[in-house]
Structure 1
Amino acid sequence: MAGQRQRGGVVVVGVDGSPSSRRALRWGLEQAEATGAKVVAVLAWQIPRHLGTAVMVMPGAQWDAEARNTLRSAVEPASAARPQVEIEQRVVEGHPAEVLLREAGQADLLVVGNRGLGGFAGTVLGSVSQHCVRHAPCPVVVVHDQTGTDPERNTG
């Protein structure tokens, strides 16, 4: 039928371990459940360029492993609440905004959190959500952190 959208598709969600990205993941899973879409949870990482001389830099494999752990720890509890939603996890080296835009190339929707500073080291390089809103090839949902109302923040 003309004008009706088919069930299915892809929802790409940017995840970095922060409370707002966890909220974005939950929102993306809810949307995917409602539309029959698949979720692609993406964590982008890169070694910070300006760490200073007092900081030892981990090899890239360690950054990648840490990123995989961060993504897994965000996805597991969120996906347990919506087991019927197919979810794929991707860890990609690169600037978060650039990686998310590439991943969203064939997506129906891109979901990102908006949190300011925090989360997995190396993923905060300016306003990722703002860049995605301006340049994404698909609609973008920005899920704001609601300090004080997010149960992730209230875990001691």
Structure 2
Amino acid sequence: MDVKPVIAGVDGSKDSGRALKWAADYAQQAGAPLQALITWEVSTLYGDTFSGEWDSTAVEQKHREVAEKLVSDTLGGGAQVDVRVEKGNASEVLVRESKDAQLIVVGSRGFGGFRGMLLGSVSHHLVTHARCPVTVMQHEKG
């Protein structure tokens, strides 16, 4: 029987680092594999604001580097973590992945959050739509 993974949604923020650390501790205690999942999407651009093509390979590689640095900085170099990069809206990707996870862990706010908000848009969406339990790590005040 395959053990469902614990997924930590990461974006390079301090909150996602705290979520990753908590998820790693939980996964170890549960005997579950750990995945660090980072997402990316191309914003819709209109008119002449963009010309040319997106190099999706380069974008994915940059996001992988951010996630791998967060894993290394947070858990050390020997951590057993499957780093995944998925194209798409973070909320939608995490909800989709929740059907095959035993737990998803995210920070309360990533880089897009407004100061003073208890939950960011991704964590709020995930809490209300995920198909598995969700843990949201509260941001540190300061």
Does the TM-score normalized on the shorter chain lie above 0.5?
Answer: yes
Percent identity among equivalent residues?
A: 37
RMSD value, Cα: 2.7
- Verify: 1:138 aligned to 2:138, yes or no: no
Amino acid at match of 2:16: S
Matching residue of 2:69: 73
Aligned length in residues? 134
Q: Distance in 2 between matches of 1:118 and 1:131?
A: 14
Return the structure number with greater helix share. 2
Is the CA contact 1:15–1:25 (under 8 Å) kept in the aligned structure 2? yes
Change beyond 3 A, Cα 1:34–1:70: same
Is the CA contact 2:11–2:110 (under 8 Å) kept in the aligned structure 1? no
Taking structure 1 as the reference length, what is the TM-score of the superposition? Answer: 0.74
Is the CA contact 1:108–1:138 (under 8 Å) kept in the aligned structure 2? yes
Change beyond 3 A, Cα 1:139–1:18: same
Amino acid at match of 1:65: Q
Change beyond 3 A, Cα 1:118–1:56: farther
Matching residue of 2:98: 104
Q: Distance in 1 between matches of 2:134 and 2:20?
A: 13
Matching residue of 1:28: 23
Is the CA contact 1:47–1:63 (under 8 Å) kept in the aligned structure 2? no
Which ranges in structure 1 are unaligned for 5 or more consecutive residues?
1-7, 120-125, 149-156
Taking structure 2 as the reference length, what is the TM-score of the superposition? Answer: 0.80
Matching residue of 2:44: 49
Aligned runs of 1:52-63 on 2, under 5 Å? 59-63=55-59
CA offsets 1:104-131 (integer angstroms, 9 cap, x no match): 2111101011125449xxxxxx701001
Q: Distance in 2 between matches of 1:75 and 1:22?
A: 8
Which ranges in structure 2 are unaligned for 5 or more consecutive residues?
114-119
Amino acid at match of 1:19: K
Q: Distance in 2 between matches of 1:139 and 1:22?
A: 19
Is the CA contact 2:109–2:123 (under 8 Å) kept in the aligned structure 1? no
